[in-house]
Amino acid sequence: QWIESELHAAFQRGDFDVYYQPQHDLATDRVIGYEALLRWRHPKRGMIPPAEFVPVAEETGMVVPIGEWVLRKACTDLKSLPQDMSIAVNISPVQMMTKDFVSRVRAVIAETGVNPSRLELEVTETAMMQDRERAAQVMRQLGDMGISVAVDDFGTGYSNLSYLIDFPFQKLKIDRSFVNRIDKDNGGAVVSTIVGLSRALGVRTIAEGVETEDQATLLRAAGCDVVQGFLYGRPGPLAAMGLDTRPVA
């Protein structure tokens, strides 16, 4: 209740921030980019996690301007990262299904002047299954602009696999719940199957929520391409990522 009544003013006031979490390439052992993660710095309640306020922002529609703000911030920050690094931005299903979503993305790219191939948009299975034709159209248009599309939280959304494989995307993000269980029971087989599916589809895989060396070893053995998680770094301000982000003269 307080979330709904405070969200708008908090956004106007500038109480939102974007944190970044490194994404680590297993083949080269290097950071290849960052995921942008929204944060609400509440003056009294402290840091409010997105899981608490994003669903409310989706109900009220506030997620549309907030999401565009995150995208603009990420594109701006991208310019101070090394040329070979990318940034991944989460897109709410509500945001993705607005009529002018693709043209808004195009406008932000033009305005910030970033190379679209350095931008990745994370869409959810839920968005894809809500309106399959529209979602596929949006994903195709993003791809045509040179933006990479990742399917986030893969395997958690009750999606129909036979539909999913018809969508144009470049990366599959293996949900934390699978990584959690990779060293238990048939957890390894499940992850190997997801990687195998991705290879058959010609897309890359990224695993999230990697917390231990054992998980990393098993992911490497399974053929996973990229990893993200506390083992490699917690989400934090860009300035805390240990990068030389001085603007190029």
**3-state helix, strand and coil shares in percent for the chain, rounded to the nearest 5:** 45, 20, 30
152 binds Na ion (CB under 5 A): yes
* Binding at 233: pick from ligand G, Na ion, Mn ion, none (beta carbon under 5-8 Å per type): none
**Contact flags string 69-108 toward ligand G, x per CB under 6 A:** -x-------------------x-x----------------
3-state secondary structure of 124: strand
Plot region of 121 (φ>0 → left; ψ -120 to 50 → alpha; else → beta) = beta
Q: Which stretch binds Na ion (CB under 5 A): 11-19, 49-57, 61-69, 144-152?
A: 144-152
For tokens 């390439």, name the residue. 25
* Binding at 211: pick from ligand G, Mn ion, Na ion, none (beta carbon under 5-8 Å per type): ligand G
Choice between 91 and 195, CB closer to ligand G: 91
The DSSP line for 72-114 is HHHHHHHTTS-TT-EEEEE--HHHHTSTTHHHHHHHHHHHHT-
Choice between 96 and 195, CB closer to ligand G: 96
Residues 143 and 117: their CA atoms lie apart, in Å, by 9
Is 135 in contact with 113 (CB distance < 8 Å)? Answer: no
Six-digit token pair at 223?
């053929």
230 binds ligand G (CB under 6 A): yes
Q: Which stretch binds ligand G (CB under 6 A): 25-33, 98-106, 131-139, 204-212?
A: 204-212
Q: How far is CA 201 from CA 164, 166, 168, 230, in A?
A: 11, 10, 10, 29
* Binding at 77: pick from ligand G, Mn ion, Na ion, none (beta carbon under 5-8 Å per type): none
Q: Write down the least CB distance from residue 110 to ligand G, Å.
A: 21
215 binds ligand G (CB under 6 A): no
153 binds Na ion (CB under 5 A): yes
21 binds ligand G (CB under 6 A): yes
Containing 12, the helix (H) or strand (E) segment is helix 2-13
- Which stretches of the chain bind Mn ion, using CB under 5 A? 90, 122, 152
Footprint of Na ion (CB under 5 A): 152-153
Footprint of ligand G (CB under 6 A): 21, 37-38, 49-51, 54, 63, 67, 70, 90, 92, 152, 176, 208-211, 229-230, 235
